[in-house]
Amino acid sequence: MKALVVGGSGTIGTAVVQELLSEGYEVILTYHRTSPDELTKRYDGQPVQLLQLDVSQSIDFERLSFIQNLDVLIYVSGRSVFGMLQDMTDAQIDETYRINVFNFIKLCQHFVGQLMQRPHGRIIAISSIWGEAGASFETIYSSMKAAQIGFVKALSQELAMTSVTVNAIAPGVVSGTMTEQLDEETRSALLEELPQNRFVAPEEVAHIVNHLISPRAQSITGTVQRINGGWYT
């Protein structure tokens, strides 16, 4: 079994890769800025191939030609842009679109033929609570995450008669790089908003991925799996 994890070096991506390895998958992990030496050391002796990929740019699919017989495509890559709508530049909007939407679509387009040949092909997008609820000062990011969800729902219908399921996961606030960058006052205020008074663990997101890739999840398609600790804003 083989999985491609796009954006597999971040907080959620790392947890997803570990979950896949525990299930016996061979993993192709894409990264952008993370040190390849660090990743090589982390996965020493494990069936992980590293691929440097910048999804803010056009993808050269010839570089991905070595990926064959793919079972699972998981798109974790994402980048937010914070500020008022009228302050957003064309470059910021375009980059956010390419990272969150355009290259997700292009990768699905490229690999869907392979996935359809597998007994249980899977496409999973790690979206966001803001893709459904929207967030002030994150209008562009929220719009792109909403587009991901719309694409997932439409593609799931298109592939309904095949072996491929297509789903999105919409986490709330996940513990990791983002929350670690917040000052103590902001962290405390944010925690007070959350019904469970805790951040989502990245391993919880990875657990939902594990659930969706199971052969016993064949009827789960076109869904948004919400993992937010009851934080329905």
Domain ranges (residues) in the chain: 2-226
Give the pLDDT mean for 174-189: 78
Instruction: Report residue 106 as tokens.
Output: 């292009």
Q: How far is CA 201 from the centre of its chain?
A: 15
User: Are the beta carbons of 30 and 66 closer than 8 angstroms?
Assistant: no
Q: What is the structure's pLDDT at 56?
A: 95
User: Are the beta carbons of 26 and 1 closer than 8 angstroms?
Assistant: yes
Sheet with strand 48-52: strands edge to edge: 48-52, 26-31, 2-6, 72-75, 122-126, 165-171, 224-227
pTM over 0.85: yes
Looking up tokens 């944010």 gives 190
Q: What is the structure's pLDDT at 230?
A: 83
Q: How confident is the model at residue 205 (pLDDT cuts 50, 70, 90)?
A: very high
How many degrees, rounded to 5, is the angle at CA 172 between CA 178 and CA 55?
60
Tell me how far apart the alpha carbons of residues 119 and 216 are, in angstroms, rounded to a whole number. 12
Closest residue by Cα to residue 5 from 29, 31, 40, 32: 29
**Phi, psi (rounded to 5 degrees) for 212:** -70, -30
Indicate which residue of 25, 31, 43, 141 is catalytic: 141
Q: How far is CA 96 from the centre of its chain?
A: 14
Give the pLDDT mean for 24-31: 97
Sign of CA dihedral 147, 148, 150, 154: positive
Q: What is the structure's pLDDT at 169?
A: 98
Instruction: Report residue 30 as tokens.
Output: 């894409």
User: Are the beta carbons of 98 and 143 closer than 8 angstroms?
Assistant: no
Give the pLDDT mean for 24-52: 95
Looking up tokens 């609570």 gives 129
**Model pLDDT for residues 109-129, shown as the tens digit of each residue:** 999 999 999 999 999 999 998
DSSP 8-state symbol, 33: S
Q: What is the structure's pLDDT at 130?
A: 86
| CATH architecture classification, 2-226 | 3-Layer(aba) Sandwich (3.40)
Tell me how far apart the alpha carbons of residues 72 and 209 are, in angstroms, rounded to a whole number. 10
* Residue count of the chain: 233
Tell me how far apart the alpha carbons of residues 217 and 94 are, in angstroms, rounded to a whole number. 35
User: Are the beta carbons of 49 and 41 closer than 8 angstroms?
Assistant: no
**Phi, psi (rounded to 5 degrees) for 69:** 55, 45
Does residue 197 surpass a pLDDT of 90? no
43 is catalytic: no
Instruction: Report residue 72 as tokens.
Output: 């699972």
DSSP 8-state symbol, 7: T
Does residue 39 surpass a pLDDT of 90? yes
